[in-house]
Structure formats: structure tokens, C-alpha cells
Amino acid sequence: MKKGFIALLALMMMLVAACSNGSNQPANSGGSGGGASNSGATQLTMWSMETRNKEIIEASIAEFNAQNPDIQIKAEFFEDEALKTKMKVAIAGNQVPDIITYWSGETFDTLVEQNMIGDITDFLNEDAAFRDDFLAGGLETFTYDERNYGIPVLFSGVSLWYNKQIFEEQGLTPPATYDELLQVVDQLNANNIIPIAVAGKERWPMLHWYSYLAERIGGTEPFEKAKNGETDFTEESFVKAAELLRTLAVDHKGFVNGFLGLDYAAAESLFTTGRAAMYLQGEWAMDGFLNDEISEQIGFVPFPTVEGGKGSVNVYHGGFGAGMAISSKTNQEAAYKAIRFLTDPAQRKAINEGANISPMKTPGLEEANMHPLAYEYDSSISTNLEGFFSYYDQALDAKRADQFLNSIGAILSEANSNIVEELAKVKK
């Protein structure tokens, strides 16, 4: 009887414990639907690759959590490749985190196509002032079938950086056209000054030069058609771009001698130590400029135009490379409230006052808080941006991206290489 009584008492205690649990959802541990914790708050797990801005973002999260006791964010930060690996596992298991900061492109498209990312169009439409403050193409980067699935967190743009002291001493003006660029290169070479630092060993810096020339000649349409398989990369604008690049880099010796064996650090050092006059790179290169005395000597201009070309000087190579999105399975209102707070210009102000470009037209930057070069660059982009075109090696599938990198390398390294034949190798 005693054993029976103990068993009955244990059963009753289990029933009471079950009845006392007021929630049917477990605490969220990433993509489980924004579950409630024991305190009743909605728990949101966030993954981000913005490790460089970790402290700033964590401060914003702490502020949000304090202001919203009913919604709590827990963030995890990963280096690029680590996050890509985690996302592959998450996609396979259909368990993406409640909030994610991720790159635009193929993987993001997959998330949308498989209904893993939440549609935030209606939320944005109710917040028109915020929605309409993005630079041209920002929200469109994360739009599919006229519905929006992400909020851009940064803009990336490649410009032609130049050494103002060298140009002044040589009586040169920063080139606005390709022909002017050749003239500048010739004069620099005549005075034994390295015209352009290029990391040819890395391959992609050479592709920046080629991509810009192709856009300045034919505009953005030829690439989009070739990418989609409607044409190929032997179309006239692509061939002409390769010819102009070879003329600049090889015939006029615009690129530093031995550029094909030069890595990124070595090429950057040539420019930051004042040995090379020009350097084509994105805003990320400012990390190597801002804390150095050389920063006072550095200026920038958009990539030059090509006579008779269709491309605009204010269309930049780059784009809105990363955005913040929410899982389709999570608490949509809570998650959107969180990313709206975290992407607000006021919360990302400290990030955008560094070596970054805000995706907003009115980012609220304070010149007094910024390095003069960073403020000038960010302001220039915000004021003049007309559009952008994607990095070729990111916009294409992995196979064609590698083929393109190889073909441009061959065109510049082999004087007798056939340009059309090399470009024809870029195919699915």
C-alpha cells in the first residue's frame, strides 16, 4: 500500500508540474519560432558575420533588450566561412535563426525560394519614411517578385584612390576618362613612378578593372544578359574591355612591374607608402588608410568613363552586399521590431562613421566624429550614387567566376593570347 501511495503521489506531482507550464513553446534556440522563455519574453537568436562591428551591435542589442523586456535578442557572431558553414547546416535542417545578417546573392535567394525568410514588405510599407530613405537599389537587392525580404546594412563601392601629393608634384589631374588615365600613366612612367598598384596574384583586383571597363563601355545590360545565358562574354563590350585593359596594364605599363605575382598586402603597401600613385579598391581599403599619416595625401575619384560608352560615372562596382532578415517561422512582429531597431541609422551611426558606407540617404553622420577621408567618401557616395553593378565573381556561379578570373589573368599575362577565345571559356 505504501509503494502504491508513493507512486500515486509522484503521478499527481507530474500532472501539477505539467499544468503549471503556461506555454506550449520551448525557449527558442535558433529558428524554432521565436519561443517564449519562462519569463514570458519572446527569445530571438541572431547570427551575424559583422565581427568587426561586434561591440557596437552588442551595445544596440543591450539597449533594445532593456527597452523591450517582452522581446530578448541573443546574438552570435561568426567569421565569414564559419557562418557560411553554419548556414548550410541550417538550410539542410530547415532551422535558420530568428534573425540573420547575411550576404545578398545565391544563398539568400535559396532562403527565399525555400520559404525560410519572412516577407517584411507590409512592415516596410507602414514605415514609409524609413523605407524611402535607402540609397537607390538598396531594398531592391533583397526584393523578389516585388516582395521584400531583407534590410540592407551597408553599401560597398569601388573607387580609384590616388596620391594627391604625387599628382600635385607631377602637375596631374585625377583622370575622368580612360584616355586621360593613359596620359597620367605615361607621365608617371616617364618620371619613374609606379602608376598603379594591383594585386594580380589574388586575381579579383584585376577583375575589378575589367568589370569597370566593361560597364563603362556597354552599361550593365550586357553582363545581365550573359549571366542569364541569353548571350555570352564574347559580346563586343566584353571584348573591347579586355582590349582596353591590356592596353592600359601591359602596353602602357600601367600596372606595377610583376603585378601578376603581387599579393593584396604587398600591393596595398606600395600605395600606402607612397610608391604607387593609384589604387583601385573598395571602401574596405580605408582600414589601411585612416590610421596612417598617408591618409592626408589620399584622394579618390569614380572610375573613369570611356568615350562613346554607355556607362555612367556614378554607377559603382559593388552593391548592397549584406542585409538583415528574419526567419519565416519566428514571431514576425517581434523579429521585425528587432531588425528595424538594429538597422536604424541611429543604431548604426558608430559603424558608418568608420570605414563603412551607410545604405541610407540620410545616415545622420557627424563630421566631427569621423576621419576626414571617411566622411568625404561616405558623403560622396550618398550624394552621387545613381546605381551599381555586382562584382562579377560574386554574381556568377562558382564555375564561371573561376573561369573569368583565369581568363582575365591569361589575357594580361600572355601577350599572344586570343581575347575572344579566352572570354569564350567563361561558360556554364
**So what's the pLDDT on residue 48?**
97
Q: Where is mean pLDDT largest: 35-49, 210-224, 346-360?
A: 210-224
**So what's the pLDDT on residue 2?**
36
Answer whether 105's CB lies under 8 Å from 156's CB: no
Question: Can you tell me the mean pLDDT for 165-189?
Answer: 98
**So what's the pLDDT on residue 400?**
92
Helix, strand, or coil (residue 321): strand
**So what's the pLDDT on residue 138?**
93
Answer whether 151's CB lies under 8 Å from 358's CB: no
**So what's the pLDDT on residue 37?**
57
Cell 547546416 sits at which residue?
Answer: 89
**So what's the pLDDT on residue 113?**
93
Q: What is the pLDDT of residues 297-309, one digit of tens each?
A: 999 999 999 999 9
Answer whether 42's CB lies under 8 Å from 334's CB: yes
**So what's the pLDDT on residue 212?**
98
Greater model confidence, 149 or 379: 149
Q: What is the pLDDT of residues 311-331, one digit of tens each?
A: 999 999 999 989 999 999 999
**So what's the pLDDT on residue 208?**
97
Say what percent of the chain tops pLDDT 90.
77
Q: What is the pLDDT of residues 338-393, one digit of tens each?
A: 999 999 999 999 999 988 889 999 999 999 999 999 999 988 988 888 989 989 98
- Complete DSSP assignment for 123-184: HHHT-HHHHTTBPTTHHHHTEETTEE--EEEEEEEEEEEEEHHHHHHTT----SBHHHHHHH
Asked whether the CA dihedral 36, 40, 45, 46 is positive or negative, the reply is: positive
Cell 559580346 sits at which residue?
Answer: 235
Distance CA 25, CA 37 (A): 8
pLDDT surpasses 50 at 42: yes
**So what's the pLDDT on residue 281?**
96
Partners of residue 156 on adjacent β-strands: 319
The domain covering 40-155+319-387 belongs, at the CATH homologous superfamily level, to Periplasmic binding protein-like II (3.40.190.10)
Distance CA 8, CA 2 (A): 10
Q: What is the pLDDT of residues 115-147, one digit of tens each?
A: 999 999 999 999 999 999 999 899 999 999 999
Q: What is the pLDDT of residues 6-36, one digit of tens each?
A: 443 443 444 333 343 333 333 343 454 566 6
pTM of the model: 0.80
Which residues are within 8 A (CB) of 241 and not within 5 positions of it... i.e. 6 or more apart? 210, 213, 214, 217, 218
Distance CA 200, CA 276 (A): 15
> Angle of helix 54-67 relative to helix 332-342, nearest 10 degrees?
130
Q: What is the pLDDT of residues 402-416, one digit of tens each?
A: 999 999 999 999 878
What angle is formed at CA 388 by the lines to CA 176 and CA 349, rounded to 5 degrees? 100
Distance CA 110, CA 112 (A): 5
pLDDT surpasses 90 at 394: no
Residue ranges of the chain that CATH labels 3.40.190.10: 40-155+319-387, 158-310+392-424
pLDDT surpasses 70 at 202: yes
Question: Can you tell me the mean pLDDT for 46-55?
Answer: 94
The domain covering 158-310+392-424 belongs, at the CATH homologous superfamily level, to Periplasmic binding protein-like II (3.40.190.10)
**So what's the pLDDT on residue 109?**
87
Question: Can you tell me the mean pLDDT for 214-223?
Answer: 97
CA distances from 142 to 25, 95, 115 (A): 30, 20, 14
Q: Across all residues in the chain, what is the average pLDDT? A: 90
Distance CA 366, CA 354 (A): 11
Q: What is the pLDDT of residues 248-269, one digit of tens each?
A: 999 999 999 999 999 999 999 9
Q: How many CB atoms lie within 10 A of CB 428?
A: 9
**So what's the pLDDT on residue 72?**
98
